[in-house]
Amino acid sequence: MPVIAPKRLQRVLILAVALGAICIAVVAAANSPLLAWRDPVYIGAGFAGIIALALLLIQPLLAGGWLPAMQARRGRQVHKWVGVTLLLAVVLHVAGLWITSPPDVVDALLFVSPTPFSVWGVIAMWAVFASACLAIFRRRLRFRTWRLAHTTLAAVIVIGSCVHALRIEGTMETVSKVLLCVLVLGATFAVIADLRGWFAKSAVRSTPH
C-alpha cells in the first residue's frame, strides 16, 4: 500500500499540472485583444489549433499510463479517441484558416509561405494524417514496426507543433504558450524514454521465437 499511494498521488499531480497548464493557456487566449478584430470562423480556427496543442499534452500521458485510472489498456483506448479528436481539431484549424484567407493556406500547404512557422505546422499536420492511416492498418503491422513508426510520427508531430505555435504572434499569450509547449515536449520525451525500457523487455521476450 505505501508503494502504490505515492504513484497514485503522482498521477493525480501530473493530471492537475496538465489540466492547469491547458486551462491557463486557453483562458489567456480567450482574453486576447486580437479576438475583437477577428470573425467567428477565424477565432474558431485559432482555438482548434490551441485545443490540438493541448491534446498533445494529454496524448503521451495516456500512452504512458501516467494519468489516474488510465493505465494500460484503458489509457490506450482513451489515447485512440483523443487521437481522433486531435485529427478533427487539425482539420478544423486548417479549414477555418482556409475560409479566412485561402491564398495564405494554399501557400502554406505548398511550402511557399512567407511565414517561417507554417512549414512546421504543415509537417505536423501530415504526420497526424500519417499517424491516423498507420493506426487504421495497425493490425496488419508487426507490433515493433507499429510502435517504432507511431513513436517517430509522435515526435515529429510534437516538435513540429511546438515550433509552429512558438513562432506565431497570435491569440496565445506568450508565457502560457511557452509553458504548455515545454510540458508537451517534456511529457512526450519522458514517456518515450519510459517506454524504451518496455521496448527492450519486449525485444528480449520476443527473441526465443
Q: Name the site residues for other proteins (rule: CB under 8 A).
A: 34, 36-39, 42, 97, 100-101, 103-104, 107, 112-115, 117-118, 167-170
Nearer to other proteins, 85 or 100 (CB): 100
Shortest separation between residue 46's beta carbon and other proteins, angstroms: 10
Nearer to other proteins, 38 or 147 (CB): 38
Give the span between the Cα atoms of 41 and 70, in whole angstroms: 35
Nearer to other proteins, 24 or 119 (CB): 119
Nearer to other proteins, 62 or 125 (CB): 125
Confirm if 28 and 158 have CB atoms less than 8 A apart: no
Shortest separation between residue 67's beta carbon and other proteins, angstroms: 32
In this structure, how many other beta carbons lie within 10 angstroms of the beta carbon of residue 202? 13
Judged by DSSP in three states, 43 sits in helix
Shortest separation between residue 129's beta carbon and other proteins, angstroms: 22
* Cα 116 off chain centre by: 20
Shortest separation between residue 26's beta carbon and other proteins, angstroms: 19
Q: What are phi and psi of 107, to 5 degrees?
A: -55, -45
Q: What are phi and psi of 177, to 5 degrees?
A: -70, -45
